[in-house]
Amino acid sequence: MSFVSPRPILVSIPHASSAVPEEVANLVALSADELMEYSDWYTDEIFNVDNVYKVQSNFSRVIVDPNRAPDDISKEYEQAAEGVIVHTTWDGKSVYKEEPSQDMVDALIQNYHNPYHDALEQHIPKVQFLIDCHSFMPYGPKLKKDSGQERPDINLGNLNYSSCSREHTIFFRDFFESKDFKVSINFPYTGKYILGHHCHRRRIPPFLVPGIQIEINQGLYVKPNHNYEKIPGKIEEFNALFEELIQAFMQRFCPDEYEEKNN
């Protein structure tokens, strides 16, 4: 039996989990339901496709956020300043009963932030593109520029046209628009540290690869009842759509690998 290597696509899923690392569990003031509220609901299911390289965080973004720089010392969500370690949530809740010491913060970054990026770096020499996978709230939260505004179905972020080419961006936009989704580019989100640290418009081996951030509106697949209840069949539909997107990307931008893996 011959070994089939993964397709040269790196899938990053940084915000799917609401779990808390054991070493700070006794310090966290938020309940399990509150922690779930700050996760990217079900992105671990929507973007879980076979035969790609994948890196996924297993801990809550409010404890350690892989999509913020490790030296981003913003502690609060005031004026939407979201650091690598969050102390106050976007809706004003305290994350901790007792704030962790600087040594604990350093340990959290060392144990949970750095390994995420180490894993991405290990895969980058083997891939041609990175997709950073997220979901977002149907309406802009209080501290965002679009506070209270209805959001599009799909938000594509390319760090203001620096993380991938115009051709890449148009491909993703046209793909989703062809499925009748409303698509925005770089609003409300442009992408953060994952794109900024690992991506560039041109492939620069072995360190940098083109990449884009995809945000899916949670209102498309979760019922508006604040219980995180799935709309039946929608997670599966989006998962199949993501596989279709990968296949279309391969056919367009990696034709040799596409032909090899489909023959």
CA dist., res. 166 & res. 253, Å (int): 13
CA 90 to centroid of chain Cα atoms: 18
Amino acid occupying residue 211: G
Segment 12-38, tens digit of pLDDT: 999 999 999 999 999 999 999 999 999
All domains in the chain, ordered by first residue: 7-18+40-59+112-261 (3.40.630.40)
Segment 146-175, tens digit of pLDDT: 777 889 999 999 999 999 999 999 999 999
Q: What integer pLDDT is reported at residue 73 of this predicted model?
A: 65
Segment 170-190, tens digit of pLDDT: 999 999 999 999 999 999 999
DSSP codes, 183-248 = EEESSS----HHHHHHB-SS-BTTTBB-EEEEEEEGGGTB-TTSS-PBPTTHHHHHHHHHHHHHHH
Structure tokens at 73: 């010392």
Residue bearing tokens 């409303």: 182
